[in-house]
Structures are given as C-alpha cells and as structure tokens.
Structure 1
Amino acid sequence: MKYPKMKLDILAFGAHPDDVELGCAGTIAKEIALGKKVGIIDLTQGELGTRGSAAIRATEAAKAAQILGLSARENLKMRDGFFQNDEAHQLQVIQMIRKYQPEIVLCNAIQDRHIDHAKGSKLVADACFLSGLQKIETDFEGEKQTAWRPKVVYHYIQWETISPDFVVDISGFMDKKMEAIMAYDSQFFNPNTKEPITPIATKNFLDSIKYRSQDLGRLIGTDFAEGFTAERYVAVNSLENLI
C-alpha cells in the first residue's frame, strides 16, 4: 500500500515485519495516544522466516498497523538475510526519511542474535546522517526531495539483553503491545500449530516479552517499560523531566 506524503513525528524501522512491535510497540502506542503521528518502515518482507510466508507477514503487518493506529507503514522489500549497508540500500532508506521527515527515528538493536538486526541498525543510522546532506539528491515519485536529518536516532532492544541508555514507561500500554505482537500469529507460540518450533515460537519467548518489560518497569518504579540505546547523550530540559 502506498501512503501519501506526510510529516511524521516518529518513524520506526525494522529489518523484518514484527521487529518494531517486539522492540517498542508499547512506546509507539503511548506516543500515538499522546497525539503523535508514527509510521513504520519494514526493510524486508521476512521471506526467509521458517514459519509463514511473505504474503502472510504482509497481512499480519497490516493488522498490527491497524491495532497500533499507525499513520503509515511501508515495506522496502530488501532481500531478507542479504541486504547490505551500501549506497543503493542507503538511498532507499533516505527516500523514506525525506518523505516522512521524522523528528525521531527508532531502529533495530545495535547487536543481536539475527544478523539482519545489527545490519539494519547501522544501515538506518547511517542513512539518517546522509539524509541531511544536500548534495545527495533523491526523488520520490518524480518529485525532488529536500534534505532532512532526524534530531535523534534511538535503538530498541531485541533478543539480547543490552543495558539501555534510557527507558520509557509503557504502563497502560502493555496489552496493546502484546495485541500488536500477536497479530503475527504465524510467528509466535501456538500449542496447536504443526509449524516447526523456532526460538521465537516458544512459550518462554512469549512470556519473556512481558517479564522483560516488567523488570525494566520495576527498576524505574512503574509497571512496564521499554529500553533503548542512544548514539549520543540523552539530554533533558530539567530534572523535573526525570521520573
């Protein structure tokens, strides 16, 4: 589905459909509830996944987008497992950044079990910088694009346990996060399925999504939280901004 040009507050990237939901759907749901416009760009169709198919994942991604109330969701259809952080792929991402002009970009974990996650993380972060260079010219649907660099890039946490640089209180939005995740019912735990068991299709993994958020919430004195890492110092205007 093609979305019209619009400015978004937050643009989240994931190497595969479901990456964003697993990493930061609670934060996205909260920001949308606060009136922010949020979109997701999936780099690949997840076609190498053991379970399901690209077509099934596309249907699931559309369902998750509706649950979260996204303003836009697009898939760049890069090759699952084989995309690279090179000029051609960077230009694809730059087109999306310039199309939606987000203030904040969220992207994959800086290191993780799946090789696409770290690759996607670096690809998007590099493209965010390059997107601000006026001498890199891009056009989208026949229209020349204006240079645009997001104010900040944050990386959500995925399979590996990484110490976050900051956490977001998502109390009140955990159910919405889980609903968005379970839109991908081909991918996650189902005791009645005949599909092969994968590391993310176990009950333990499904339970870990909630208890990780509970643990981060415990550490900041709330019910649930999501963690992020940052490429530069996280600044606040006042000590009153801290909870």
Structure 2
Amino acid sequence: MLDPNPSSRTTPSDGSGPAPGGLLPPGVDRAATPPQRVAVLWCRRSADAATEALAALGLIPLLLDPTETTQFLDAMGEPSVLVVDCDALDDAAMEVLAQTRSAHPRLSVCALAGAEASRDGLLRALRLGVSEVVDPDDAEQLLATLTKVVQAPPAVRVLAVGAHPDDVEIGCGGTLLRHRDAGHAVTVLTLTLGAQGGPAVDRRREAVGAATRMGAELLLADLTDTRLDEEVGLTRLVEDVVATVRPSVVYVHSTADQHQDHRAVHDAVVVATRRVPEVYCYQSPSSRVGFSPTRFVRVDDTLDEKVDLLGVYRSQSARHYLEPDLVTATARYWARQLPHIRHAEPFEVHRASGDGPDLL
C-alpha cells in the first residue's frame, strides 16, 4: 500500500521534479501518447546530417517534396521546424514557402546553404522569413542552429483528472481542445476503468480513442470503481503523477458532487497539486446544486469536436447526459455568463495565480 501521509513526501510538485514523460508510479499505465514532434525537410542533396541533428533533438524528420507540404500541414498540423535546402528552392517551392509562412507565421524555417548555394535562392528565402542559414556540411553548427530554432516543448502543461473514462471529456473536453489548439501539452489521468458502468476492456479502448483524437497523453490506473473513497494511497499516487507531468494547469471534479469517487478524486488532487498555480473544478452529470462556477471558457470552436469525442464512448451511448443535444444545450446555458459567445464550459476556481493561460 502506498504511503497515506502526503506530508511525508519529499518529491516536489512545483515544476522542479522529473521531466514530463518520465517514470510513472506503479499501477499507472501510459495508455496513449501525444503526437510525436516532427520536422519537415526539403532537400535535394543528402539529408543525412540534418536528419541526424533533428533526431538528436527528439524530432521525427520527414523528407517531403515542397508540393506535398501543404497537404501535410492540413492533415497533421504545424511541425516544429521547416528545413529547406536552398538548392531546392525553385519557383514552385518558393510559392509553397510563401504560402506556408503566411499560414504559419510562428513556424521556424532554417535554410541549408553551402558554399555553392544559389545566392538568388538564398536571398529570396531570407525575404520570406527564413529564421537561420547554416552550412549543411558543418555538423556542429547545424546542430547548434537547429537547437536554437526548433520550437521548444510547450511551456503550458495541462493535467485533467477524472475518476472514470469520459469524466474529463464531459467536464472540460472543449476546454482541453482549446488548450491543444493553443499548443499546450495535455495529459489526462483516469483513475479507474469504470468497470461498474460497462466492460473495462471497452471503456479502456474508448478512453484511448478519445485521448488519441484529442492529441493528449492518457495515463490510466485501475483502481476500484465506486470505491475510490477507500483507497488509502490515492493522494500519493496522484502526487507521483503530478511530479512526473509537472502541470501548470489542473482540471478536476468539483467537491459538490453526488458521486463518492468524484469527491475522493477532488480531495486527493487538491492536496497533490498544492504547488500548482492554476487548479479548476469542472461540472459532472452528478454535480449537486452547490456547484458554483465563476470561470467560463468559450468553446464555440471546439464544441462539435467535443461532441465527437463523447461519441467515442459507445459503451455509454444509453447515458442521457452524452446525448449531443443535451451537451450542446448545457454549453449554451453557461454561455449566458459571457457576452458575444454561444457556448461555454463552467469551472469553479480552486486556485488561480493570475498568470495562467487566458482561453476566453
């Protein structure tokens, strides 16, 4: 049994602990991982040095023809960096580069230009916003330059905690999608497989599917459904997850809830995240009248995708609270708190430093 006394813990949960993606406590499985960070290369010469440097930075290098890039960006989203060989910058490639820079102004672009590189091509690339120019034959300089221009891992790390599969998606799915779209790293921690509500194997598969669609990391524990209030080591387990994920924003059940598992998770998370600057409590179908939100996040742009996420939970399709019209009506109801929006998700503010991400 894990240590029931959280005050005896020495692992910090203020951002100074292990790096994200590190070791998890026993009983917690990394069931889904976020999409890999990728780099796109346009090269006519050998790309070995560039691919080795990118791989050393933890990126997956993808060698594409410039004409394939727009389709890739539409399907996969913005890569961490675009590496272009000046010798590959013909008129068609320059047009694609201009379109890419216009559509993705934050995207870092690094030009490979050796001693024989076309001066005209290099000048045109610089006019289009190339971030850095580097000699592809200088391996040390190449690695140093790519290290400088590659987009850093997200500074905002979000942890959403739920007792059962689908809890998080119901309570804050639209908000988590907003975080994802803002480039924030999202982790979902689900503490049971919800075996009292359906076959555990189905609910696990559905949770993985929903996290994958959301681009989130999914951490799953298999504690006893409906008995979390009796789990002596629950706080310690959550503390260990917090030390690994190192979140800057946390979402969890409200204590104003009729379900004993939800209240137990709330209590454990409040203790385990005592050094996290932003902690918010979401509404569940079992929330009581005492749920008193004071923060409302606009989900106009993500509500349809939230409904699709909830549709992944087919084993729960008979639950009235998953019906799309009720999900939409609930978001419409809470939007009355904010001007000029149609849909919102409500949160009780447990802690807010004032420096958290503004999603309104």
- Check whether the contact 2:162–2:252 (CA below 8 A) recurs between aligned residues: yes
Counterpart for residue 230 of structure 1 = 349
Q: Whole-Å Cα distance in 1 between the matches of residues 185 and 246 of structure 2? A: 11
Q: 1:152 to 1:86 in 2, by over 3 A?
A: farther
Paired amino acid for 1:176: E
Which one is further off, 78-87 or 22-31? 78-87
Unaligned runs of 5+ in 1: 130-148, 190-200
Counterpart for residue 209 of structure 1 = 327
Please say which structure displays the higher CA radius of gyration: 2
How do 1:104-119 and structure 2 match up within 5 A?
A: 104-119=249-264
Q: Greater helix percent: which structure? A: 2
TM-score, scaled relative to structure 2: 0.53
Report the CA distance between 1:188 and its aligned residue: 2.2
Give the alignment partner of residue 178 of structure 1, picking from 301, 307, 327. Answer: 307
Q: Report runs of 4+ in structure 1 exceeding 2 Å deviation.
A: 1-4, 84-87, 160-163, 202-208, 234-237
Q: Please report the RMSD computed on the Cα atoms of aligned residues, expressed in angstroms.
A: 2.4
The answer to which structure, 1 or 2, has the higher relative contact order (CA under 8 A, 6+ apart) is 1
* Secondary structure of the structure 2 residue equivalent to 1:39: strand
How do 1:56-205 and structure 2 match up within 5 A?
A: 56-70=202-216, 72-84=217-229, 88-129=233-274, 149-159=275-285, 160=287, 162-189=291-318, 201-202=319-320
| Identity, % of aligned positions | 28
Report the CA distance between 1:206 and its aligned residue: 4.7
Report the CA distance between 1:165 and its aligned residue: 1.4
Q: Whole-Å Cα distance in 2 between the matches of residues 110 and 28 of structure 1? A: 20
Report the CA distance between 1:91 and its aligned residue: 1.1
- Check whether the contact 1:12–1:40 (CA below 8 A) recurs between aligned residues: yes
Counterpart for residue 3 of structure 2 = none
Q: Whole-Å Cα distance in 2 between the matches of residues 242 and 36 of structure 1? A: 11
* Count of residues paired in the alignment: 205
Q: Deviations over 1:186-215 (max 9, x none)?
A: 1023xxxxxxxxxxx137855322111011
Report the CA distance between 1:235 and its aligned residue: 6.0
Q: Whole-Å Cα distance in 1 between the matches of residues 182 and 163 of structure 2? A: 26
Report the CA distance between 1:152 and its aligned residue: 1.9
Report the CA distance between 1:227 and its aligned residue: 0.4
- Check whether the contact 2:280–2:350 (CA below 8 A) recurs between aligned residues: yes
Q: Whole-Å Cα distance in 1 between the matches of residues 359 and 304 of structure 2? A: 25
* Alignment of 1:218 onto 2:336: yes
TM-score, scaled relative to structure 1: 0.77
- Check whether the contact 1:26–1:173 (CA below 8 A) recurs between aligned residues: yes
Which one is further off, 80-89 or 109-118? 80-89
